[in-house]
Amino acid sequence: MPPDDPLFERLRALPEVPLDGQMRARVLRQARAVLVERQHRAPWRASLESFWSHAVAPSLVTLTVAAYLVWAIGAASGLYR
């Protein structure tokens, strides 16, 4: 998202949610754990995750929707016979 994006500016203007010390520490600990895990994972795993999220998952959703559409049209046309 470019810095001059109006949505970015509106998001930046949102008020900060006050967190108590314990909640803040927990959120920071979890965020650091995710960053460390992503930095130290194998390159093949990153490629596999990218392939899954950009190719396989959308294809599965598309195939599911197409199969449902074929079934729905067949069921609807069966009602008119």
In this predicted structure, what is the pLDDT of residue 2?
63
pLDDT (tens digit per residue) in 19-49:
898 999 999 999 999 988 888 888 888 889 8
What is the overall mean pLDDT for the chain?
90
The DSSP-derived string for the chain is --TT-HHHHHHHHSPPPP--HHHHHHHHHHHHHHHHHHHSS-HHHHHHHHHIIIIIHHHHHHHHHHHHHHHHHHHHHHHT-
Domain ranges of the chain: 6-79
